[in-house]
Chains A and B, each alone.
Chain A
């Protein structure tokens, strides 16, 4: 941003009124124009003097011709200053746009007309202005607050010129019967209105205080500049008074007409939202999305009403313009070599026009899968509707007893619920938030919802109350189905959606929680519908949206991830093929996400007696009892649950059931190799697997214990060969390695499963040829002659791609950005990209995030950094945001941390960078055994040992400082992921000479 400051002096009412400093505004953007008025409020012949910010002259001076014009309309009580960032970004863009940001009459530095201008006048005013400016070429309207309505009014009346609309925190419609937002009611209250908006500057100050983080003083002052005297604030007061709170309001008909006309706009639209807005809440966003179904949406979680101030909305708008209007132009995707060439364009104009409510990318990532036979998630339920064998079992209350449903009963329950839900108003495409703990109730609900095309919203309590609340509000469900606790939270935090209770509640409670139906009622209604011969609702299409799952939130607010039915089915197939799970298998579901696939897999599923949101509550006895109940052959659990199983194994009376288990899948977090070693004692028959993946793509790779051991040996021999000298510390490092996962295709353990997964890998490669673009497939890479182990080491080996998945690496440039062409060359470190039929469809209401993650067509950018070795195994080296750009190149933290953790007396360790990008130095922060009382510099001997270990793992490491802390900060959900970003900030402060506090 240019920090040009200048004093603008404007003559008003014969007095020198303003002597303002406007940080961020260029002098020659500011201009005045006399505009003949046709507004009905003005006598004919009236000419009004407008102030606008306009980068047209600057573009002309630079010899640049703009793509088109952004016509920006501020709301109340701001002025064109709101758009200064957009003016700057649009001017400097390689594809520049002209930006005309107006000060509405009676506002900003435009004329004070002495009239009361209503909505209709203001729309006419804008028309008069653009006429006087002789705006030609394509125009995109950009509006904020009530300026959004006025900009849309202009848009609906200038269709031949209109190329698109951009809206931020605005509203076009007040739902019938709904109260207008409380803060506005206050402002409109006659007792408050005149004082709050005109006599005092309260309304201005309150609005400016809505910025997160707070506005700098000079910016606040610039916003205040045109409104310093009460006489200058008449427009502010009139604007508030012109809000149509009821149909009898004079501006109501115009508002309604614009609101309806918006539905007929077929131009690209972008909605940018700051959800922390006390007035323009998510409700109004959803209303706009309903009217503009083609709109791209980005919610800036944590941002508020002044979203233009809170976040880089200007950058997002420019990105969106480039994606939407630069036909086939350059974008970062082209840097990925030939990947895009020869493929249908979807990033260009098409991207912007894709529907948010429909299947967003059905035609791109999985286009070639359309020819493949699609088996919906509920296919197995239908097929086994007559099977009286056990389908789902819930272990109850520590007594070892169980409640179970047969396949027939489950299928019946799903049919009743789906018919009942449909009869109760749940329509295809409606979002349904499920606040029900894992078990047969949740299983039945999930299958009932997806069967009728409702979109399930699954956010788990592990996000914490605040995170869960943000997730549910962001997803904006139409229905919330929950246990009492969930519904209480829904009421407390004001989550949207009609409430359905999982259990039957007492009438008073029911009223209090606003419950309209209980599940029992819905099931009964469904049964009645079916008895009376009602049609079972139609099945959704394979490319309709099916589910929204949430990321862990360990790296910022949790993100909603949208899956289609085809993608969920593909996830089912990937799990089935990788782990040999099929009809007849029975599994213990100690880890919820995969467990919900049990009925889809045709596997008998038992939920052990535990609190699934608190993995550590799984005991050995509970696990054994669950296994015994279904003669389980497979166990899904998280590492912390397995830790507790081992810790409670002494109390286990009968190990027989666990000895039958063939496959153990540890998922949810990396599992240390020693923990797997221990588990072999308890589960002697089982092959121990761990997948690598994320909410956006699960699983991507898999490795088993055998594979982990091989990888460690290969890494050690590589380290030895590499350094030439015996590197003791490096060799020892493997022992403590946190292994992520296993080896997929080749070394699959379970009999028969290996073949299955190999076949799967083959078909996956075929169906994803589009994503390959000249890359050899991972399968081809795998068949290379096993070499001396090039690339083994420097990270956690997570094995080979699972059935249907392909992996590629995008190398890092000197700024540590992953701009490299896709490659599978061993030992090239870069961002890990995955292509698979079970990769997410898109991020929910996060247009910019989605664009970044999918900027290489047909690939999902994981944000993880790693490399492949010459045997096709993937080694994860850390997060893209955690790499350390040093003067001698990019360092990745994981291998260094493993090496440091192998040092005597060191517990967990984190390696972070301090200093400016490109010249950072790595710092090791360690927990000692026993833990230190307080943070300090490490003692000389420990410092030397840590440095030596890191240097052995990577000669370029050059650890500059070793700090000891009592405990490393970790995320709440998994209590496993170290908060490296926070830690780096702490280390930077301490090492700059700041106070040695705990991180």
Chain B
């Protein structure tokens, strides 16, 4: 197994070449950094590569820039790689169904097919709980099977199809696990956190209903550690889909208030009925609009669509399979967020 990359030829028994796709986003960056830190901590010689259009600017990682739509770039990206963590996806509201199909389904197919051919042994497919969501509220559920027919919207539909495709390729020599982090947030989060704070500062952030719906979220470092844990535990995790959260469901109103406080914005006080928001449709979308082209799991859309209903999960199986527990509590996460903004966390 040789490739153009000179580093890849220097594989040692205690080092792996790991490719992270979509490392320009908050979670992709956190995953790459976690892998680098893990390697250093364990005295290993892992090499971390990233794959996205732009520069990742992650210290210690090597960029292999390109697009999932470019077969040549994909082949080059997986060359000499042992393990792939696939986060890159099209998440925006905008765009035609075909674009989502191309990036999320065909892009995944292209990447995994190339990876298998290149001799990659392990793949962690980063997915979303929305792939299995066909009801309104989720109360302590596990990870149901992905269902493109029932998933709501192009993103969830195409991610569901991609997850089925990825897990369908799972075999003893090419192990695939799906990890579904739910609503990832943290410092540097341009989607959830910055939008909430910006809207709250301009006084245009309403709460839906009483704001009491319980929502599970995932602090970014926990999502990253769960994904790296999946790589460690491929023996147990392959072939499965696992929802990952902080395991601390909180009322959505409290979360929003906590983020606002951390960001130095006033707590929203305006309540509007959820049915009205849903009927109007655009109210929420205007609040949560995501810029096109960002390669991130779509926590914003998922949250915005169903901000007024419960979404929390039974984490027992996930924690057992991954032998993992979140290290950063929500309160600690909010403190870090406050420190990031240079503000003060309230309460």
Contacts and interface: CB of A to CB of B under 8 A. Distances in A.
A992 B316 contact: no
Contact of B249 (A936, A960, A996): A960
Contacts of B250: 960-961
A991 B213 contact: yes
A915 interface: yes
A991 B213 CA distance: 4
B212 interface: yes
Given A918-B314, A940-B267, 9 more contacts: A887-B315, A916-B139, A921-B249, A921-B312, A936-B210, A961-B254, A991-B213, A992-B310, A996-B212
Contact of B316 (A914, A918, A988): A918
Contacts of A918: 314, 316
Given A963-B212, A993-B213, A887 B247 contact: yes
25 contacts: A887-B314, A914-B139, A914-B140, A915-B312, A916-B314, A921-B312, A937-B212, A937-B251, A937-B253, A937-B254, A940-B257, A941-B347, A943-B254, A943-B347, A961-B214, A961-B249, A961-B254, A990-B212, A991-B251, A992-B214, A993-B137, A993-B274, A993-B308, A993-B309, A995-B210
B267 A992 contact: no
Contacts of A943: 254, 347
A982 B271 CA distance: 27
Interface string B208-239: 01111110000000000000000000000000
Given A920-B140, A958-B248, A993 B347 contact: no
A4 interface: no
A992 B249 CA distance: 11
A524 interface: no
B346 interface: yes
Q: How large is the interface on B (under 10, 10 to 19, 20 to 34, 35 or more residues)?
A: 20 to 34
A914 B141 CA distance: 12
A943 B310 CA distance: 19
Contacts of A961: 212, 214, 249-251, 254
A914 B261 CA distance: 27
Nearest to B274: A993
A524 B214 CA distance: 71
Contacts of A916: 139-141, 314
Contacts of B310: 991-993
Interface of B: 136-137, 139-141, 209-214, 247-251, 253-254, 257-258, 261, 267, 274, 308-310, 312, 314-316, 319, 346-347
A929 interface: no
A990 B213 CA distance: 7
A996 B209 contact: yes
Query: Counting chain B CB atoms within 10 Å of each CB, which of A918, A963, A990, A993 scores highest?
Result: A993
A365 to B, nearest CB: 40
A991 B212 CA distance: 5
Contacts of B140: 914-916, 919-921
B248 A887 contact: no
B347 A944 contact: yes
Contact of B214 (A887, A991, A995, A996): A991
Contact of B212 (A887, A919, A958, A993): A993
B137 to A, nearest CB: 5
Nearest to B213: A993
Nearest to B209: A993
Q: Which 5 A-B pairs have the closest CB atoms?
A: A915-B140, A919-B314, A993-B309, A996-B210, A993-B213
Contacts of B314: 887, 915-916, 918-919
Interface string A964-999: 000000000000000000000000101111011000
A944 B347 CA distance: 6
B214 A914 contact: yes
Interface in A529-567: none
Contacts of B309: 992-993
Contacts of B209: 993, 995-996
A940 B347 contact: yes
A990 B251 CA distance: 10
Nearest to A923: B214
Given A916-B139, A961-B212, A940 B261 contact: yes
Contacts of A921: 140, 214, 249, 312
Contacts of A992: 137, 139, 213-214, 309-310
A918 to B, nearest CB: 7
A941 B267 CA distance: 13
Contacts of A887: 247, 314-316, 319
Interface in A933-952: 936-937, 940-941, 943-944
B135 to A, nearest CB: 11
Contacts of A914: 139-140, 214
A360 B253 CA distance: 57
Nearest to A887: B316
A918 B314 CA distance: 9
Given A940-B257, A993-B212, A996-B209, A915 B139 contact: yes
Contacts of B141: 916
A691 to B, nearest CB: 39
A958 B326 CA distance: 14
Interface in A112-153: none
B74 to A, nearest CB: 39
A963 B267 CA distance: 18
Contacts of B212: 937, 961, 963, 990-991, 993, 996
Contacts of A940: 254, 257-258, 261, 267, 346-347
A951 to B, nearest CB: 10
B268 to A, nearest CB: 12
Given A943-B254, A993-B308, A937 B137 contact: no
Contacts of A988: 139
A999 to B, nearest CB: 13
Contacts of B316: 887, 918-919
Contacts of B213: 991-993
B261 to A, nearest CB: 7
Contacts of B136: 993
Nearest to B319: A887
Given A914-B139, A920-B140, A990 B210 contact: yes
Nearest to A945: B347
Interface in A14-47: none
Contacts of A960: 214, 248-251
A944 B141 CA distance: 27
Nearest to A942: B347
A990 B211 CA distance: 10
A943 B251 CA distance: 11
Nearest to A936: B210
A914 B346 CA distance: 27
B139 A937 contact: no
A607 B309 CA distance: 57
A913 to B, nearest CB: 10
A996 B312 CA distance: 19
Contacts of B210: 936-937, 990, 995-996
A915 to B, nearest CB: 3
Contacts of B258: 940
Interface string A919-932: 11100000000000
A159 to B, nearest CB: 54
B183 to A, nearest CB: 15
Contacts of A958: 248
Contacts of B312: 915, 921
A943 B248 CA distance: 14
Nearest to A920: B140
Interface in A752-777: none
Nearest to B141: A916
A991 B211 CA distance: 9
A960 B258 CA distance: 14
A230 to B, nearest CB: 45
A988 B137 CA distance: 11
B318 to A, nearest CB: 10
Nearest to A917: B140
B131 to A, nearest CB: 20
